Amino acid sequence: MPWWVEHLAVPIAFTLLGAVLGFVLGRINQRLDARKSKKNFLKAIVVELRALRDHLKLTKTTADGALADFVNGKSELVNFTDCYQMTIFSTQFGKLADVSDERTLNAIELYSDIGAAQSLKDRLSREGMEIVQLEPGPLRETRVKYYFTGLKHLSDIIAMALEKIEKLLPKLSV
């Protein structure tokens, strides 16, 4: 065997084989880690969505009660002081390597709806605080009507989000 084969070709071949093998095993490991990470993320989302479902139901009950009172001539404004806890989703979502899974996309859409409900709820609370400071008159009456229109919209957004939660939870629990 010539010296260049023993001292040059064999070391180069083993180095290349080691590099290729290391690259392939690294990619397999990344894929397995990403799959495990997504699975754990979806499990955590199930827990968070169950808590959010209860919180959304409570908000909807409060809004629907105020709307029923308004229809009966009583215009008690609701001051929402709580916020929806979406910590798991907001902190862990960015760590996912792949979000193209249908369940993950459905969760993104759902959390967007919940965020919209939170924004509207905050806006209604600010509006309610402003209305309380107004003198009785046509301006106040108009703003109260707009307030309750917004409250009805909040109730509708929450109803839609609750429906999506009920459809998504069985898919995530698999």
Question: For 39-79, what is each residue's pLDDT tens digit?
Answer: 888 898 999 999 999 999 999 999 999 999 999 888 788 88
Half-sphere exposure in the Cβ direction for 150 (13 Å, CA): 21
Half-sphere exposure in the Cβ direction for 155 (13 Å, CA): 16
- List of the chain residues with pLDDT < 50: none
* Alpha carbons 80 and 53: distance in angstroms, whole number: 17
Provide the residue type at 110 as one letter. Answer: L
* Model confidence, pTM: 0.81
Q: What is the pLDDT of residue 5?
A: 75
Sign of the alpha-carbon torsion through 94, 96, 101, 102: negative
Residues 18-54, buried b or exposed e (16+ Cβ, 10 A)?
eeeeeeeeeeeeeeeeeeeebeebbebbbebbeebee
